[in-house]
Chain A
Amino acid sequence: MAEPISESRWRAADRILDRVLDSPAERRRAVIAEVCGDDEELRTLVERLVARCEGDDTRLGPGGALDGAFAAAVGRELADGSAELRGALVGRYRVLRELGRGGMAVVYLAERADDDFHQLVALKLIQPGADGEHMLERFHRERQILALARHPNIAQLLDAGITADGRSFIVMELVEGEPVDVFCDARRLGLRRRLRIFLEIARAVEYAHRNLVVHRDIKPSNILVTGDGDVKLLDFGIAKLLDDDAAEHTRTHLRAMTPAFASPEQISGGAITTATDIYQLGVLLYLLLTGCWPYAAGSPATASVLLAIRELAPLRPSTAVGGRREPTPLPGRQAPTAGEIAASRSAPASRLRRELDGDLDTIVLTCLRKAPERRYPSVAQLIVDIERFLDGRTISARPDTIGYRLSTFVRRHSAATATAAASAVVVVGLVGFSTFEVGRERDRARLEAAKAGEVSTFLHGLFQVSAPNRSRGEQVTARELLDRGAERIETELAGQPELQAAMMTVIGDTYRELAHYDEAGALLERAVEIRRRHPGDRELDLAASLFALGRVHERLRDTEAARAVLEEALALREAALGPAHPDTARVRDVLGLVASYDGDLETARRLHEEAVADLAAALGKDHVDYGAALNRLAGVVQDQREFEASIVLFDEAIAVLERSAGDDHPYTAAAKFNLAHSLRNTGQIERADALYTEVLPLIARGFGPEHPAVGMVLNNHSNLLREQGRLDEAEAKLGQAMAIWTAALGPDHPQVGWIFNNLGLIATERGDHLAARDHFQRSVDIAEAAYGPDHADVATQLKNLGGALHALGDSEAAIPLMERALAIRERVYGSDHSYVGAILRELAVVRLDLGDHPGAIADLERAIPLGRDGPDHRHDEVTMPTIQLARTLAAIGRTGEAAARLEAERSACLESSRPAVDAALAVVKGSPSHRESVAG
C-alpha cells in the first residue's frame, strides 16, 4: 500500500481532479499541464488518478464486498449462528471469538467467566443441527478419552458439558501454535529436525495406544507446534477406545472424514485399529519429508481422492521430491514447486532425493501399506526404526516386492473389502439424527460382498452436493439430501439390485424418522420387492427391509399391512437370530404397538413385556432401547386404564432414558408426555398441566415443529384444559394439532378424526350441540374409513354422536348409533366390561326419553352389575343407575321392586350417596301407585 498523502496535497489533487473531469476528454491533458505547472509530482499523481477514473476496476465494483467465496463464507458463518455466540456464556466459559471450524464442530477462544485469572481455553461446540444421538455419544466418548490421556504432547481436556440449548461442548487447553507442517516449512527445517519433531508426535500417539485410544484423525491441523517448540496433539474428536466390545470394532462411527488423511480401511469401513493411526502417521511423515501427498490423484474431488487412497500405490518419497515429476499437492492445496520444497528444507532437491532414497522410503511406505496387518505392528516399532535411521543403524522394515504388490492388487479387485454401511451411517449423521438401528449390521454385512467403491462414490456424490460451493451457499436440508439420494439410487446404482435395496432401506428408514411416510413407504416397498425378486439374498436383509416397512405402516396406523410384514420379519429374525435377540425383540415391540391400535391390549401387553425383558437382558437396563420399550409397555398398561401401575412404569422409563439419552432427549420428553396422561387420569391435574407445558418445546425441538408427536402433545393438553373448563385454550391447541396432523398424516388419518371428536366434546361443553353433532359425524366417518365399521374408536365416537343427537332432541336417530356402539364394545372388550356398562347407561337415558320403559329397565339391569365398585366409581356407575332403575320401575307401577332395590342400595352405597338414595326412596314411596299398594 502507498504512503499516506498529506492533507494539503490531497485537497489540491482532488480539486484539480474535479476540474479535469469537468473538461472534455481531449482537453484533459492540457488542463492538467496548465494547472499543475511545474509541480511534476502533482502532475503524475493527477494523471494517474484521471487514468484510474477512466479505467475500470472490478475489484472495487458496486457490491464488490458481497461477491465471491469470502462473502459466501461469511454468509455461512452468519447462517449457522456461530457469529452470534461471541460474548455468550457456555457453561462457565465466555466465548471470545471463533478459532476454526470443522465438519461437525466449531472451536472458539473462550475464557473462564468465574475466576479472576481469565484463563484462556479452546472451547469446542458441536454444530447446531448436528446433535444427533451419535454425535452426543461421540462427544461423551471424547470426554472419556481426553480424561484418560494425560501427556505433555496431548492437549489437555479441562471440562465438558451440555449447553442450555442442548449442545455438547468440550473445553481444551488452548494451544497457540502453528500446524506442524507450516512450522517446519516456515523455519526451513531439514529432514533430521523434521524427523525429531515427528518422533514426538509418534510418541504421543503411542502413549494414547497404550491407553487403548486410537486417534484416527491425525493430520497437520491437529498437530500444533507452539512458539516454544512444544508439539501438541489436538482433537481426539473421532478417537476411539480399543477395549470397546467387539461390535464396536466393526461399527463405524460418525465422523467428518478428512479425505486426504483417511486410511484405506476407513474408506472401506473396515476395522479401525492402531494400524489406522500408523497409516495416518505415514501420510503425515510423507508430507513433512516431501511437502507432497503420496498419491497422484486425478483431481482434488473427494471421490477421486478416496479412489486414489484405495487403489493407487504411493509414490516413493524420494521420487516425489526428485524433480523428475510434478509434485502432487495435498488435495485442496496448491502444488508446491520442486524448488519450494527444497528451499523449505534447506537442501537442494538432489540431496533431498538421496537422503530419502532407501531407508526413509521404506519406513514411510511401510506405514502406508493398504493392508493394516502389513504396516508396522505398532507405533513403537515405527519409532524404533526412525531412531535407528537417525543413529545410522539398519532399520527393521523391508521394502515390498513387486510380486507382492501385484498380488494384492489382484486380490483387491476380485473381492472388494469395502463396505458401504460405514458411509451409510454418515448419511444419517449428516442429517442429524440417529435412531437407526434397523438392520444396520445386516445391511453392512450384505454390502460387504458388493461393489463398495460404487456405493461410496454414490454417497460421496450426495455430500458433494451439500458442500457449500455446489449449493451456492444455501443450506441443504436433510430432506433435500434424502430426495437426491432416492433419485440417484435409480440411476447410479442401476443394475445392482442388492445395493439399490440396501440404500433404499437406509434412506427409506431415514424418511420415516423424519415423518415423511409416503416417501418412506414407497422406497421400502421397492426394497422389499427387489429383495424378494433376488433370492439368494440373505434372509436377514429381507427382514430388515420388512421391519423398516412395517414401522412405516405402524406410523400410518395401517395395522393390517403392518402386521403382515412385521410377522414375516419376526419369523425370519427368530429363525436366524433366535427369539431373544434384540433385533427380534424390536420387531415384537413394534408388533405390540400394532396390536394396541387394534384394541387388542392383552396381546400388546404380552408383546411389550417380552420385548422389555429381552432388551433388558441383552442390552442392560441403562440402554436407551430398553427405556423406549418400557415406555411403550407403560403406554399399553395406561390404555388398560391401570393408571397407577403405568405411572410406576413411566417413572422407571423416564429414569432409564434420562440416564441413557439425556434430560431433554425427545424420547425422555415423550415418556414424560405419556406420564402426564396417567397423572391426569389419577386426578393430578396440576402436575399433568405443568408436564405438558414442559414437554411441548422439547418435543418440537427434538422431532421438528411439524412432527406428528407435537400434535399429540397439543391434543392431550387440550383434553386436560377442556376438563378444567378452559375451553378457548383447549380449542386453540386443537387447531394447532389439526394443522400439524393434517399436513403430516393427511386429512383422513384417524388421529385427525380424534381431533374432530375432541372439538365435538368442547362444543358439547359449550352447549353447541349442532356443532358437536357435525364434529362427531366427521370423526365417525374418518374412523370408519380407516378401520372399518367395527373398531373401538368408532364405538366411542358413535356414542358421542348419539349423545349429540339426543341433546338435539333426535333420540330416535340416537338409538341405532348407540346400539351399534354397544355391539362393537361387547365384541372388543367382552360383554361384561365396564365400557359396555357406560354405553348401556347412556342408552337407557335415551330410551326413557322415548318412553321405552322396558327397554331402559333391561339396559339398566345389565349396566348395574357392570358398574365398578369403590369410591371413584360406585356413585356414578352403580348407585345412580340403581336410582334411575327404581324410578323407571316406579313409573310403570312396579313400586315394590323399586323400593326394594333402593333399600338394598342404601345399605351398600357410599356414605356420600345416601342422601340421594333416601330422596329417591321418598319419591318412590310417595308415588301414587305406592300409596295405593300400601292402602290396598
Chain B
Amino acid sequence: MDGVTELLLAYRDGDREAFDRLVPLLYDDLRRIAHWQLRRGRSSPTMGTTVLVHEIYLKMADQRSLDARDRGHFLAISAHAMRQVMADHARRRTAAKRGGAAQPVPLDEAPEIADGQARHLLDVDRALSELARHSDRMARIVECRFFAGYTEEETAEALDLSLRTVQRDWMKARAWLREALDGSDGRADL
C-alpha cells in the first residue's frame, strides 16, 4: 500500500502522471478486497463498491495521515479503477463469446442477459472515452456515478466540484452518452 500513498501524495501535489500510475495499483486492491468481501458473503449482488473503496481508503488512512482532499482524490481514482475492472471483464466476456480463442464457456445463469449487459458496458466505456475528449470532467462524473455508484455528494467530494455542477454535468453527460450510443434514432429509449 506504500506506493499508493506516495503516488496519492504526488497526485495531490499536482503530478498528473501519478494518477495513471495509481489506477493499476488500486485495481489490484479493489480486486483483492472484493475477493475477500465476497468470500465472506458480505457483499450485495452489486459488489458494494463504495464499501470496497472505503475499506481500501481506511487501510491507507491508517498508515498515513491523509486529509480530506486525499480522500476525494482517492474516491476519484477508485471510480476510474472500478470502470477498468468492469470494462476488462466485459471485454473478456464478449471476446470469449465471439470465439476469439474459444474454449468451453460455461452456461451460467441468464447468460444472455449478462452478455447484453457486458456489451452495453463496453459501449458506455467507449462512448465515455469519446466524451472525455470533450469534457474530462463529465467523464469523471460518469465514472463516479455510473461505474462506482457514488452519490452526488460523494461525487462532488471526489472531484472537488460543487453539488450543482455535479448534478448539471451528470444530466448533460448522460444526454451526450445516449447521443453517442443511440445516434439520432435513439428516441425510443427516452
Contacts and interface: CB of A to CB of B under 8 A. Distances in A.
Contacts, number: 225
Contacts of A2: 179-184
Contacts of B105: 99-101, 221
Interface stretch (A72-80, A282-290, A759-767): A72-80
Most buried by B among A83, A175, A221: A83
Tell me if B's interface is mostly helix, strand, loop or mixed: helix
Nearest to B155: A62
A100 B104 contact: yes
Interface in B34-61: 34-35, 38-39, 41, 43-47, 49
A410 interface: no
B179 A63 contact: no
10 contacts: A1-B183, A53-B175, A57-B174, A66-B49, A70-B114, A71-B45, A71-B117, A78-B85, A101-B106, A174-B101
B99 A84 contact: no
B124 A469 contact: no
A475 B41 contact: yes
Given A14-B172, A49-B175, A62-B149, A70 B117 contact: yes
Contacts of A79: 34-35, 38-39
Contact of A178 (B34, B99, B115): B99
Given A1-B181, A48-B184, A177 B102 contact: yes
B35 A81 contact: yes
B187 A69 contact: no
Interface of A: 1-5, 7, 10-11, 14, 17-18, 21, 44-45, 48-57, 59-81, 83-84, 97-103, 107, 109, 122, 174-179, 182, 221-222, 224, 234-235, 258, 332, 334, 467-469, 472-475, 477
Most buried by B among A68, A176, A221: A68
Interface residues of B, number: 76
Nearest to A45: B179
A70 B168 CA distance: 29
B62 to A, nearest CB: 23
Interface string B16-38: 00000000000000011011001
Interface string B92-130: 110010011111111111111111011011011011001
B71 interface: no
Contacts of B35: 78-81, 83-84
B104 A222 contact: yes
B89 A44 contact: no
A179 B115 CA distance: 17
A14 B175 CA distance: 10
Contacts of B179: 2, 5, 45, 48-49, 52
Given A98-B92, A179-B102, 12 more contacts: A65-B146, A65-B147, A66-B86, A71-B46, A78-B34, A78-B35, A83-B31, A83-B89, A101-B106, A107-B103, A472-B45, A473-B43
B135 interface: yes
B127 A107 contact: no
A1 B99 contact: no
A864 B33 CA distance: 66
A224 B175 contact: no
Given A70-B118, A70-B121, A99-B103, A62 B181 contact: no
B93 A66 contact: no
Nearest to A82: B35
A224 B133 contact: no
B178 A60 contact: yes
A237 B180 CA distance: 46
Contacts of A177: 99, 102
Nearest to B82: A65
A179 B103 CA distance: 8
Contacts of A334: 112
B189 A57 contact: yes
Contact of A122 (B103, B150, B151): B103
B28 to A, nearest CB: 8
A51 B124 contact: no
Interface of B: 31-32, 34-35, 38-39, 41, 43-47, 49, 82-83, 85-86, 89-90, 92-93, 96, 99-115, 117-118, 120-121, 123-124, 126-127, 130, 133-135, 145-151, 168, 171-172, 174-184, 186-187, 189-190
Nearest to B42: A474
B46 A63 contact: yes
A71 B176 contact: no
Given A71-B45, A100-B104, A182 B93 contact: no
A475 B36 CA distance: 12
Nearest to A64: B146
A4 B174 contact: no
Contacts of B111: 332
A625 B55 CA distance: 46
A467 B107 CA distance: 12
Contact of A60 (B85, B110, B124, B183): B124
B56 to A, nearest CB: 14
B35 to A, nearest CB: 5
Contacts of A68: 113-114, 117
A469 B45 CA distance: 9
A99 B101 contact: yes
Contacts of A10: 134
Contact of B146 (A3, A63, A182): A63
Given A1-B180, A65-B124, A65-B146, A469 B110 contact: yes
B134 A21 contact: no
A73 B175 contact: no
Given A4-B130, A79-B35, A174-B101, A63 B149 contact: yes
A107 B101 CA distance: 11
B127 to A, nearest CB: 7
Contact of A84 (B31, B85, B108, B151): B31
B46 A102 contact: no
B34 A75 contact: yes
Contact of B89 (A74, A102, A182, A332): A74
Nearest to A128: B39
B187 A51 contact: yes
Nearest to A72: B45
Minimum-distance CB pairs A-B, first 4: A63-B149, A79-B38, A55-B190, A2-B183
B39 to A, nearest CB: 6
B149 A70 contact: no
Contacts of A65: 82-83, 86, 121, 124, 146-147, 149
A75 B127 contact: no
**For B38, B103, B150, B181, which residue has the most chain A Cβ atoms within 10 angstroms?**
B103
A85 B106 CA distance: 19
Contact of B134 (A14, A51, A102, A224): A14
B45 A473 contact: yes
Contact of B117 (A44, A69, A81, A122): A69
A908 to B, nearest CB: 67
Given A21-B168, A60-B174, A68-B117, A176 B109 contact: no
A63 B143 CA distance: 9
B104 A235 contact: yes
A62 B171 CA distance: 11
A68 B190 CA distance: 21
A765 B147 CA distance: 61
B32 A84 contact: yes
Nearest to B39: A79
Contacts of B175: 17, 49-50, 52-53
Contacts of B123: 1
Contacts of B183: 1-3
A11 B89 contact: no
B53 to A, nearest CB: 12
Contacts of A56: 190
A297 to B, nearest CB: 15
A477 B118 CA distance: 28
A80 B31 CA distance: 11
Contact of B108 (A55, A64, A468, A477): A468
Contacts of B82: 65
Given A69-B117, A79-B38, A84-B35, A175 B109 contact: no
